Structure formats: C-alpha cells, structure tokens
C-alpha cells in the first residue's frame, strides 16, 4: 500500500523530528529528496557509529530517501532547490529558527513559485512568541513541556529514554501533511503547517495536565509504576526477575484478589475497593502484592496473571526486542540496505502488505548527480558545482 506514490517531498532536514516525519511519508510511497550540507550532511549522521559504522539515529529515520547535497547559501545551490520546489508537492524544513525564511524559503515566497506546494515548518516552539528564536533540542522541550515533572522517581527526575519531543513533532507533522494533501485535493492549493515540538509534546501531556487542572496536585513521579493507578508497575519475583502488571478496573481487581493473591476478602476491603482507595493506600497494598510475587518465579507469576486474566509484561532489553516472539510471528522484520550492508528494520505499523516499502538508507550525496540532471543542469555544470563544493 503506497498511496503517496507519485508525490515528491523535498526536505531541508536534520536530527530527528523532520527526518522521522518524511521517512513516514516515504514509507507510504512518496519520493523524498533529502537536502544535506555538502561534505558533512545531516549532523545526525555523526551521532554514533553503532550500526556497522553508521549512526543508529540516521539509519532509523532516513530509509527510502534520496540524498542531494546542496549549499543553499550559494545562489546556485538555492536556484537548484527552488527548481525542485517548483515541481514538488511538499516542502518540510526544521532548520534553525528563521533560517528558511531568511533564505527566501518562507511560505509566501514559495506560494508564488508553486501555489500547490504544502509547506511544513517544524521548530522547537513555533514561529512566533517569546520562545520563537530559542534553540530547542529534545531534552529542552521535554523540560519545557512538563514531561520531566512526571517521569523519574520521587527523588530524581528522568528524561524519557527515547526522543519523545522529536517523535511527537514528527508524528504530528506527518498527519498534518496527510490532512493538507486531502485539503489540496478539494481546493487545488497548498497550505502552510507550523508544527512545534513544544505543542506536540504538550498534547501528549494531556492526562497529567488535566489531572493537575485548576491548581490540583500534579501526579507524582512514580518511577516505573503508574502515578495514579495501583497496583500498576514492576514487581520482583522469587528468581529476581521483574514482572510488569496492572489492574485497570474493579472487575479485574476482584479476579486478581481471588485468582492471583488468593485473598478474595481484599476485593471489597474499604481500603482497596476502588482505585482511588488503592492509590491512597498503595504502600500497604504494595507489600501484600510484593509478598505474593516473592513466592513465585517470573514465569509462574506471568502464567497466573494470564489465567486471571490481568495485563502483564516482561521487562525486555533492546536485545530481547530484536528477538521478540510476537514481532517474529507476524513477520514484522525486513531487510533494509545501507552503505554498510543490510540491516533489519521494523515494517511500518498499520498498512497490511507483504512487501512494505523498505528502500535503502542513502549515502551522503548519493543521488546528487541524478537530481541535478533532472532539474536541467548539464554534465559540465554538475561537475563544476561539485568541484566548488556547492553540491
């Protein structure tokens, strides 16, 4: 299923937010031309070298794209970019605040060039307001969005272990672009999208924000446990392994008391009958639940929890996830070519297809000559731009 086949996306992108958005468009069949700095490229290429010498971040967010190197500060490089945008469907950029507009790549200028072009600007804080020019990276936005106030332990805050602010912005940009394409189908005109990492992350903070509405006490940092639902979180089994489990409602609570704890009397105990009661008395209840887990191995506990049934999970490492039986049984891993050889990659969630689009991760500038020829440059001009570091 490649509904975006035939559409061209041009992206001045770096790091994660914009590359993740455009990779998802590529997954759906769009042609994505990634514009990079000559010589160095997207700085995410140098974040690490964990994938056969390549960056883990870059391999994850950049498959199925074409890499074009251009110095857009040089008028000749900018001219090439504008030629591409004249025939493109979508332009995505997440350069430093104001950089695209100063280069003549703002929405109004591009609308005159190509009225059907959808322009998606991704930034840390949006294009206006007191934070508009403030530098923004994932941890900074997690902090500003309040995420760090609800992650970690009571004694120490902790950032999320993945770049959630970048992923939130990329996900919202992806869905907004799809909506803009539908709108263009009705009106024939492109539109501008302004996606901020802060707003995308605050949207994901909906539950804690409303929980603390109108000055109410915010949810406490609860480590791997749930801040407001109990029992919900990690418990240590007799063999030292950790099992995650949760009880979501009173029906599950009654079954859990009877079939797992062997204490049906607790189901209607006034201290534990409702979730609010269990949350208020989580320390004594936690001791009861922990004592039962200490009588069982992790495997025995999971079998009993399945029989109740209540939700449970292993606490997996990344290595465990590569070999997860559920992903293997559904054939979710496919091979993606990279400049350093093939690597496994997860098929895009959602579309049901035997052969998802999983095209190569590009080498820096791999498609430069081809694309420059497409916009009308001859061989001598192309050689000159490359020799002079413009492409």
Reading the block at residue 297, the tokens are 């191995």
- CB of 87 closer than 8 Å to CB of 5: no
Q: Catalogue the long-range contacts made by 158-167 (C-beta closer than 8 Å, 24 or more residues apart).
A: 163/16, 163/138, 164/138, 164/201, 164/204, 165/17, 165/138, 165/141, 165/197, 165/198, 165/200, 165/201, 166/15, 166/16, 166/17, 166/20, 166/138, 166/197, 167/16, 167/17, 167/20
- The catalytically annotated residue of 71, 89, 138, 166 is 166
166 included as an active-site residue: yes
Reading the block at residue 289, the tokens are 């639940």
Q: Return the half-sphere exposure (C-beta side, CA atoms, 13 A cut-off) of residue 241.
A: 15
**65-69 and 118-123: which strand pairing?**
unpaired
The CA radius of gyration of the chain, in Å to the nearest whole number, is 25
Q: Which residues contact 148 (CB under 8 A, 6 or more apart)?
A: 142, 157, 158, 159
| CA 215 from centre of chain | 31
Which residue is listed with tokens 């995308």?
200
- CB of 100 closer than 8 Å to CB of 13: no
Please report the beta strands in the chain, taking only residues with DSSP state E, as ranges in sequence order. Answer: 8-12, 31-36, 65-69, 90-93, 118-123, 192-196, 232-236, 242-246, 311-314, 333-336, 343-346
The one-character DSSP state at 318 is H
Q: Nearest-CA neighbor of 340 among 11, 129, 53, 141?
A: 53
151: left (phi over 0), alpha (psi -120 to 50) or beta: beta
Q: Nearest-CA neighbor of 321 among 351, 344, 354?
A: 344
Kindly list the catalytic residues.
166
């Amino acid at each position: 299923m490649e509904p975006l086949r035939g559409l061209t996306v041009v992206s001045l992108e770096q790091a994660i937010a914009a590359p993740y958005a455009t990779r998802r468009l590529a997954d759906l069949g769009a042609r994505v031309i990634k514009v990079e700095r000559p010589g160095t490229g997207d700085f995410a290429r140098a974040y690490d070298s964990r994938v056969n010498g390549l960056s883990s971040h870059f391999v994850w967010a950049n498959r199925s794209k074409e890499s074009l190197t251009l110095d857009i500060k040089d008028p000749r490089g900018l001219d090439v970019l504008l030629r591409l945008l004249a025939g493109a469907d979508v332009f995505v950029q997440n350069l430093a605040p104001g950089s695209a507009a100063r280069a003549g790549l703002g929405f109004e200028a591009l609308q005159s060039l190509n009225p059907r072009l959808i322009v998606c600007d991704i930034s840390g804080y949006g294009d206006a307001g007191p934070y508009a020019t403030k530098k923004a990276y994932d941890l900074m936005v997690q902090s500003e969005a309040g995420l760090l106030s609800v992650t970690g332990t009571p004694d120490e805050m902790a950032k999320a272990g993945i770049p959630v602010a970048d992923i939130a912005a990329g996900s919202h940009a992806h869905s907004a672009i799809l909506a803009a394409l539908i709108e263009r189908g009705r009106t024939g005109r492109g539109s501008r999208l302004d996606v901020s990492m802060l707003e995308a992350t605050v949207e994901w903070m909906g539950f804690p924000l409303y929980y603390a509405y109108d000055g109410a006490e915010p949810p406490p940092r609860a480590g791997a446990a749930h801040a407001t639902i109990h029992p919900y979180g990690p418990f240590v089994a007799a063999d030292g392994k950790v099992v995650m489990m949760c009880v979501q409602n009173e029906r599950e609570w009654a079954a859990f008391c009877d079939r797992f704890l062997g204490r049906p009397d607790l189901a209607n105990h006034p201290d534990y009958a409702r979730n609010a009661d269990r949350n208020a008395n989580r320390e004594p209840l936690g001791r009861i639940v922990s004592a039962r887990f200490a009588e069982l191995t992790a495997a025995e506990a999971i079998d009993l929890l399945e029989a109740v049934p209540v939700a449970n999970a292993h606490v997996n490492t990344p290595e465990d996830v590569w070999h997860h039986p559920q992903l293997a049984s559904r054939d979710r891993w496919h091979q993606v070519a990279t400049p350093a050889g093939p690597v496994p990659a997860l098929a895009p969630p959602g579309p049901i297809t035997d052969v998802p689009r999983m095209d190569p991760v590009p080498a820096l500038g791999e498609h430069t000559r081809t694309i420059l020829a497409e916009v009308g440059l001859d061989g001598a001009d192309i050689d000159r731009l490359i020799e002079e570091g413009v492409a």
